[in-house]
Amino acid sequence: MSYTESIGSRTYRFADLKTLMAKASPQRSGDQLAGVAAASEEERVAAKMSLAQVPLRTFLNEALIPYESDEVTRLVIDGHSPQAFAEIAHLTVGDFRNWLLSSTTDADALTRIAAGLTPEMVAAVSKLMRNQDLIAAARKRPVITRFRNTVGLPGRMSVRLQPNHPTDDVKGIAASMLDGLMYGCGDAMIGINPASDNLAAITKLLVMIDDFRQRYQVPTQSCVLTHVTNTIAAIEKGAPVDLVFQSIAGTEKANAGFGISLALLQEAYEAGLSLKRGTVGNNLMYFETGQGSALSADAHFGVDQQTCEVRAYAVARKFNPFLVNTVVGFIGPEYLYDGKQITRAGLEDHFCGKLLGVPMGCDICYTNHAEADQDDMDNLLTLLGVAGINFIMGIPGADDVMLNYQSTSFHDALYVRDVLGLRRAPEFEEWLESMQITDARGALLSASPQQPLLEGARDWMGIA
């Protein structure tokens, strides 16, 4: 069905819900590149006004990508819970925004309705919200996951220690690991983006991290971010796999471009579960996403990039992930042009993921050809800390020397924890104190040669 909205003497017409959603999106370069963005700010306002009047039920009857041709649409529709939806079924998108921001809507209410929300509903309401609305609503919705520690508790923020190396040099990676741990980072996980997809090299990294973890009894989890088929092969060969990684997108065609399907993800999930390596829980999938991935694969079907992104969270939700990471500025300025667009996208992604019940983190990042700088990242880091982000990245100097992009550093994590009073995962916090890295308040202690981690560093790093 079509939608109309008049402003003054001009009437705007939107051919279908997909078009209305795209025109209502805040300005971003990816939608302009795809030819789906509003032609003017007035048209954008008209689309928002019209979208606010759309009943939430409409999203159950008007699929943006056809049910018959897309397995992500089928996953969303077939998995929808009418019981969970009943509480908000009478609302329009605008009413839903008001309900989310009401002082009477709390974490319990947001948890109750999560299974009744489709990603399109969540994307739609985000388009009507200011940045402060996205922060306020997301903050109400903690999503807690467990493997060897507990991530996502209110008042806590974890860090993925990312010790990448351009040649996968084990000693270089170990040195970056040590650096990050001495700054109190690594409670989300120790996650390496390998330079090579060679199975032997991947296994070598997994064994190195696991040997270190066992030696020092670190309550964290490891991940080598290779294609899911490589991880399955590593599991079959007995490698010590903790978290199973895969990049995902919001359409079947885009996922096919990644070489995956829902069936393959299910196989990987079951392979990970079979190892029974978690000690406090069994959330073990780690997914990465990013606005623009479907567009870059010519697999968006005219749907705006943010709605495609939220559909990826529905894929993630099916597999009870430990962490989901929106790598917000990594794809480039073709999709998020500058610091303002990156900031808005990061807040949208976090809000939408949390509303769907997904444990959201964010790689607060940009590439060097984007109109952005570290001050923009500082702003987004602070806003996401207020919003209750589950985890961020910890990278030496905020400069990834293998992937060649700018992110957040170990020091950035110290900053946001300090100014917002955020703590680490409780099990990891206790370990840091036992290793004399932090005090009982979580503050860093001065390092000494007798500090247990430093004392044994030359040995476990293999330095003579």
Alpha helices, DSSP H only, in 25-130? 29-34, 41-52, 58-61, 71-78, 82-85, 93-101, 107-113, 119-126
**pLDDT number for residue 456:** 75
Rounded mean pLDDT of 267-279?
A: 98
Q: Is 374 annotated as a binding residue?
A: no
Q: Is 74 annotated as a binding residue?
A: no
**pLDDT number for residue 346:** 98
Give pLDDT tens digits for 425-456: 999 999 999 999 999 999 999 988 778 888 87
Rounded mean pLDDT of 258-272?
A: 98
Rounded mean pLDDT of 414-426?
A: 98
CA 261 remoteness from chain centre: 19
Exposed e or buried b per residue across 2-23, where buried means at least 16 C-beta atoms within 10 angstroms of its C-beta: ebebeeeeeebebeebbbbbbb
Give pLDDT tens digits for 310-355: 999 999 999 999 999 999 999 999 999 999 999 999 999 999 999 9
pLDDT at 458 over 90: no
Q: Is 296 annotated as a binding residue?
A: yes
Q: Is 363 annotated as a binding residue?
A: yes
pLDDT at 375 over 90: yes
Q: Is 266 annotated as a binding residue?
A: no
314, 74 Cβ separation under 8 angstroms: no
**pLDDT number for residue 454:** 85
Parts of the chain belonging to CATH 3.20.20.70? 145-435
222, 210 Cβ separation under 8 angstroms: yes
pLDDT classification of 200: cutoffs 50, 70, 90: very high
Tokens of residue 25, six digits: 């999106």
Q: Is 42 annotated as a binding residue?
A: no
pLDDT at 123 over 70: yes
Q: Is 161 annotated as a binding residue?
A: yes
Give pLDDT tens digits for 91-108: 999 999 999 999 999 999
Exposed e or buried b per residue across 314-332, where buried means at least 16 C-beta atoms within 10 angstroms of its C-beta: bbbbbbbbbbbbbbbbbbb
Q: Is 451 annotated as a binding residue?
A: no
pLDDT classification of 357: cutoffs 50, 70, 90: very high
Q: Which of 182, 127, 143 is nearest to 361 (CA)?
A: 143
DSSP state of 396: G
Rounded mean pLDDT of 144-167?
A: 97
Give pLDDT tens digits for 131-142: 999 999 999 999
pLDDT at 464 over 60: no
pLDDT at 299 over 80: yes
242, 112 Cβ separation under 8 angstroms: no
Class of domain 145-435: alpha beta
pLDDT classification of 264: cutoffs 50, 70, 90: very high
Q: Which of 409, 420, 401, 4 is nearest to 179 (CA)?
A: 409
pLDDT classification of 263: cutoffs 50, 70, 90: very high
**pLDDT number for residue 99:** 98
Residue 132 CA to residue 8 CA, distance in Å, equals 29
Parts of the chain belonging to CATH 1.10.220.70? 3-140
Q: Which of 109-118, 171-180, 411-420, 453-462 has the lowest mean pLDDT?
A: 453-462
Rounded mean pLDDT of 131-154?
A: 98
Rounded mean pLDDT of 44-73?
A: 98
Q: Is 325 annotated as a binding residue?
A: no
pLDDT classification of 43: cutoffs 50, 70, 90: very high
Task: Give the sign of the dihedral formed by CA 162, CA 222, CA 265, CA 389.
Answer: negative
Q: Is 355 annotated as a binding residue?
A: no
Share of the chain above pLDDT 70, in %: 99
Tokens of residue 1, six digits: 């069905």
312, 289 Cβ separation under 8 angstroms: yes
At the second CATH level, the architecture of 3-140 is: Orthogonal Bundle (1.10)
pLDDT classification of 463: cutoffs 50, 70, 90: low
